Amino acid sequence: MKQDNTVAQGSTGPANRTPSPIGANEPKTLTVPAAGKRYFDLGRNASYEAAKRGDLPVIRFGSRLRVSIAALERMLANAGRKDD
């Protein structure tokens, strides 16, 4: 019996993939303690208190809280600017 060794042409090949944007594999959110530590050198409890006060932009998924890196960096970029 003769085998057919041809490969089917499909959309999974590298030529058909859409390139990912730069940083696509980087996380878009951080845990509250990780964000507090990385951006403000806060401990775990202080980070959760900052989130509770609204000083960290949090997203709630059920009982889990995550900090959006984009929102946090926007917030920091606008810190100290006066509203007109």
27-32-36-38 Cα dihedral, nearest 10 degrees: -20
State the Cα–Cα distance between residues 9 and 6, nearest whole angstrom: 9
For the chain, 84 residues long, give each residue's pLDDT as a single digit of tens: 555 555 555 545 555 665 556 567 888 999 999 999 999 999 999 999 999 999 999 999 999 999 999 999 999 999 888 765
Angstrom distance (rounded) from CA 70 to CA 25:
15
H helix and E strand count, the chain: 3, 3
The overall pTM is greater than 0.75:
no
What is the C-alpha to C-alpha distance for residues 68 and 78, in angstroms, rounded to an integer? 16
pLDDT at residue 25 in the model = 84
Kindly give, in sequence order, each residue whose CB lies less than 8 Å from that of residue 47, ignoring residues fewer than 6 positions away: 32, 33, 35, 36, 37, 40, 56
